Copies of this chain bind each other. A is one copy, B any other.
Amino acid sequence: MKLSDLCLGSLCLRDASGYDIKKLFEAAFSHFHSASYGSIYPALNQLAKAGLVEVHTEPGQGRPDRKVYRITEAGEAAFVETLGRADPTEQLKSEFQVLLFFAHQLSTERLSAILDQMESHYREKLGYMERIINDPCLSAGMRLGVEIGIASTSARLDVLRKHRQELLATHKEPPRCEPGLP
């Protein structure tokens, strides 16, 4: 599923401008997806060209004009079809895990700083998700999504806290042979 599909999905919820959609990404999708203006605006233009959304320009009083997008029937049908075809994949790209994997090549101070940073990062994410999960507007599916995010992040935080001292104590012991080959 590409970004234009997610934009289309956003427009199933309500009419919005590119700017609004960016906000929605940050507010509602941030724990499983991200997007920049540089891909949102071209995606919207492309959707309009394909007739999946309509545009009308709202003159901004004082502010810049807004181009507000509304999904068409064809657009809704296309999105439902996309949902029907997509298969539920998850891919993580974790620089943190890379650093852990090669931790024996790091200084103790650096490792300690990394662990600190991740702990506070997880805590922040957790705080955010715990705030939004009480939003009465969420559908059951959305709520489950956030719940999964909370459970997963909270579990990681626990492991980090539990093993932090131990890791720093035994630090600098390199792997004994070739790991990860069962």
Copies of this chain, whole number: 2
Q: Tell whether A138 is near chain B: CB-to-CB under 8 Å.
A: yes
Query: Closest B-chain residue to A141, C-beta based?
Result: B103
| Chain B residue contacts of A94, Cβ below 8 A | 32-33, 89-91
- Is there contact, CB below 8 Å, between A182 and B142? no
> Could you say which of B88, B92, B155 contacts A117, with CB atoms under 8 Å apart?
B88
Beyond A151-B155, A179-B28, whether A144 also contacts B91 by CB under 8 A is: no
Interface size class of A (residues with CB under 8 A): 35 or more
Shortest beta-carbon distance, A10 to chain B, in Å? 10
Q: Give 27 CB contacts A-B under 8 Å.
A: A1-B95, A9-B98, A12-B102, A12-B105, A13-B178, A24-B181, A80-B105, A84-B110, A87-B95, A88-B121, A97-B148, A103-B144, A104-B141, A137-B175, A137-B178, A137-B180, A140-B166, A140-B167, A140-B173, A141-B167, A142-B180, A144-B159, A151-B155, A152-B152, A152-B153, A152-B156, A154-B155
